[in-house]
């Protein structure tokens, strides 16, 4: 029976640290109140989101560009590749498709820098479904029967520059194959909306391939991504 002078109270007994000379560690803790638990519950996903957003920007800025590609000799006349890529992954995919078909290739350029600001602009334009101004490398689409469009996924749909491209391109009679890269997922309703815009320009979306690179902290490397491209083109 504890006496008045000896009242063991587990929460207030200092225990010795394993580190010699270290100060005793107090285990006294007050249980978290409801408000503190709620704050942690709300803040945790926000912090995770911010950290993923910043990690994505850092990774994008350090990505090594894929080897250049140009068709060898006489290029295919019936196939062509047009792509937009902000941080290089869709560019690697587009170049691989070009290489497999020996097809001409053209890059869409738009003003989304690799900085955090550029990433923020990409996010807000994607959310607004904006049609940004673009420049496209020169390519002769007249003989092309099958047009490969390649783009990243932004907010579950192809990135905004690809939509701008469709709006300003005559696709009469062309079959369109869409390749999108992404970390996680796309919305089929957005692909259907994209197919409608292709159709409005005279083309037909005959296939969509989504290449999932994996969540920001555990992603496929370039060779694994290109292996998937080859498997889809076989």
CB of 76 to ligand FMN, least distance (A): 23
Name which of 156 and 197 has its Cβ closer to ligand FMN: 156
Cβ 139 to ligand FMN shortest distance, Å: 19
Least Å distance, CB 183 to ligand FMN, is: 4
HSE (side-chain half, CA atoms, 13 Å) at 23: 3
Ranges of H-type helices in 27-88: 34-61
Contact residues for ligand FMN (CB under 6 A)?
85-91, 119, 122-123, 126, 152-156, 181-185, 213
CB neighbourhood size of 184 (10 A): 11
Residue closest to ligand FMN, measured at CB? 182
Instruction: Report how far residue 206's alpha carbon sits from residue 203's, in angstroms, rounded to the nearest whole number.
Output: 9
Nearest CA-CA partner of 180 in 146, 149, 134, 135? 149
Nearest distance, CB of residue 234 and ligand FMN, angstroms: 22
Rounded to whole angstroms, how far apart are CA atoms 18 and 83? 60
Of the two residues 141 and 155, which places its CB atom closer to ligand FMN in the complex? 155
Given the complex with ligand FMN, which of 164 and 181 has the nearer CB atom? 181
């Amino acid at each position: 029976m504890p006496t008045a002078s000896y009242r063991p109270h587990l929460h207030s007994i200092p225990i010795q640290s394993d580190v010699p000379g270290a100060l005793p560690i107090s285990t006294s803790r007050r249980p978290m109140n409801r408000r503190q638990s709620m704050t942690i519950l709300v803040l945790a996903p926000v912090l995770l989101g911010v950290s993923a957003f910043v990690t994505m920007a850092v990774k994008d800025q350090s990505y090594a560009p894929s080897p250049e590609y140009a068709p060898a000799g006489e290029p295919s006349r019936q196939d062509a590749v047009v792509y937009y890529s902000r941080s290089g992954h869709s560019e690697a995919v587009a170049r691989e498709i070009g290489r497999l078909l020996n097809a001409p290739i053209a890059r869409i350029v738009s003003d989304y820098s690799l900085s955090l600001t550029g990433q923020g602009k990409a996010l807000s334009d994607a959310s607004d479904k904006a049609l940004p101004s673009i420049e496209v490398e020169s390519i002769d689409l007249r003989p092309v029967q099958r047009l490969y469009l390649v783009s990243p996924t932004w907010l579950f749909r192809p990135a905004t520059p690809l939509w701008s491209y469709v709006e300003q391109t005559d696709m009469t009679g062309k079959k369109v194959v869409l390749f999108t890269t992404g970390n996680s997922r796309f919305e089929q309703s957005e692909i259907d909306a994209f197919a409608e815009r292709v159709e409005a320009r005279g083309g037909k979306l005959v296939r969509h391939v989504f290449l999932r690179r994996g969540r920001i902290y555990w992603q496929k490397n370039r060779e694994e991504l290109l292996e998937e491209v080859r498997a889809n083109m076989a």
